[in-house]
Amino acid sequence: MLKDPLKAPYPGLGEDHPDTYWAATAGPLAGDDGPLKEDMETDVAIIGGGYTGLSTAYFLAREYGIRAVVLEANRPGWGCSGRNGSFVMSTIGRHGYDTWVEKWGMKTALALYAEGKAALATVHELIDVGGIDCDCQPEGLLKMAHRPSRITKLEAEQKVLAEVFGGHSELLDAQAIADTHFQGAEAYAALRTLGNFTLHPLKLLNGVLILARAAGAVVHGASPVINWSKDSRHHVLMTPGGRVRAKRVVMAGNGYTFDGLHKTLRGCHLPVLSNIIVTRPMSATELAESRFVSTDAMLDTRHTSTYFRRLPDNRVMMGGRGPITATPSGLAAHRQALLNVVRTKFPALGQITADYFWDGWVNVSYDYMPHIHHAKDDVSVHYAGGYTGKGVAFSLHAGRLLAASLTGNSTAHPRLPFLSPMPRYPLAAFRRLGQRALLMWYRYLDEKD
């Protein structure tokens, strides 16, 4: 069962991937350099071997000739990167496009939009350069009005996308959704955007791991950082098998980072459980009746968004918010709740059962934006995280941006809102209480009218 990063000093020691659909279908995975077994010295140490950490290591090696050492508590990709919902999106943070100009002004909003597209380009580049076979599906993301009253929101979003950002999108009515995507409920209209797509997240992770090691990075699995101190010249990272003395450190543990690991990010993270179920394959009759033929990524207009897709072997993947902490009863209730969502959205699947269920910590930042920055009083400590559930593309891109800023080569627009310190939660000790209250409020908003 997942430990709460607000309390547990490290996420685990050498744990294998959980029993996800992704782990069951990834095929043989690449190895790493094994647990750290002796003290060593390095220029750059990276804490966390997910997309952020491995991408940073890859770009540091490829672009700047720096052979970083990645310290991963468990198996590379054990965190969100190997168990996510597989949507590769250009979205950055949680604020709708319709609020960007008001929040940050036109110039910054346009730069942010371009950066979201650059994140997609980074994913495509990694896949191409590494020849990564990760079951990429055709592009397409449907944002579904789960109530008729939400259609106006989608119309407003389409207008802003077209008029401000020059983005192409299509508004589908209920009949068009039924004709070309699936026959179901809670689908009164949908905004369809291109560029976004789905893939096999663990196969992608495995490919990035291979790329990073081939470029010269060293990746130690089963090596949690359990203590961090500093001597006159180095950071000293203690793992069970040895110490790493590093000139610079990148914090890439994201939602799995212990709140007390380093003062820089203390009180800045809110790890929120997200759950996923994968059903058994649909029978021929269920497939014919649900007409679930779409390969698009799909989510709905709820604040506590549910996200789903049809997998290549005709299973349905459904994801949504989990309990506040991972208890057996809370998880069992959420497993059943997700199955009920499948049955509600797809009335033809009333008898479907789930073969897989798992959870993971999504990292929600206080301002709902990712942040790539360094410690206030120490530029030798960099970090990226807080992707708020939109991190497949952006974390891989963040690794690229981190590598550039760590080496003084950043060409990114300096006013991009994510190039700023991650804000601390007010009354951080009470984050779980605040989360509980917010969740109740969102549930009320989502189901009213």
Ligand X SMILES: Cc1cc2nc3c(=O)[nH]c(=O)nc-3n(C[C@H](O)[C@H](O)[C@H](O)COP(=O)(O)OP(=O)(O)OC[C@H]3O[C@@H](n4cnc5c(N)ncnc54)[C@H](O)[C@@H]3O)c2cc1C
Where do contacts with ligand X occur on this chain (CB under 6 A)? 10-11, 47-53, 71-74, 78-81, 83-87, 89, 224-225, 252-258, 261, 274, 276, 319, 360-362, 385, 387, 389-392, 395
Q: Read off the tokens for 400.
A: 């690229």
Q: How far is the CB of 234 from ligand X (least distance, A)?
A: 17
Q: How far is the CB of 52 from ligand X (least distance, A)?
A: 3
Q: How far is the CB of 177 from ligand X (least distance, A)?
A: 20
**Would you list the DSSP string of 208-248?**
HHHHHHHHT-EEESS----EEEE-SS-EEEEETTEEEEEEE
Nearer CB in complex with ligand X: 74/137:
74
Q: How far is the CB of 382 from ligand X (least distance, A)?
A: 13
- Closest residue to ligand X, judged by C-beta, is 391
Extended strands (E) in 72-198: 87-88, 141-144, 169-173, 189-193, 197-198
314: exposed, middle or buried (C-beta count within 10 Å: 0-12, 13-18, 19+)? middle
Nearer CB in complex with ligand X: 107/124:
124
| 150 and 139 Cβ atoms separated by less than 8 Å | no
Nearer CB in complex with ligand X: 348/371:
371
Distance CA 67, CA 423 (A): 31
How crowded is residue 233: how many other Cβ atoms within 10 Å of its Cβ? Answer: 7
Nearer CB in complex with ligand X: 51/348:
51
Reference 235, options 41, 34, 60; nearest CA is 41
CA atoms within 13 A on the CB side of 88: 30
Q: How far is the CB of 182 from ligand X (least distance, A)?
A: 18
Measured N-to-C along each axis, helices 392-406 and 51-64 cross at an angle, to the nearest 10 degrees, of 40
Q: How far is the CB of 294 from ligand X (least distance, A)?
A: 16
Nearer CB in complex with ligand X: 32/286:
32
Q: Read off the tokens for 83.
A: 């168990």
Distance CA 49, CA 39 (A): 19
Output DSSP code: residue 255: G
Nearer CB in complex with ligand X: 203/286:
203
| 314 and 282 Cβ atoms separated by less than 8 Å | yes
Q: How far is the CB of 391 from ligand X (least distance, A)?
A: 2
Nearer CB in complex with ligand X: 35/385:
385
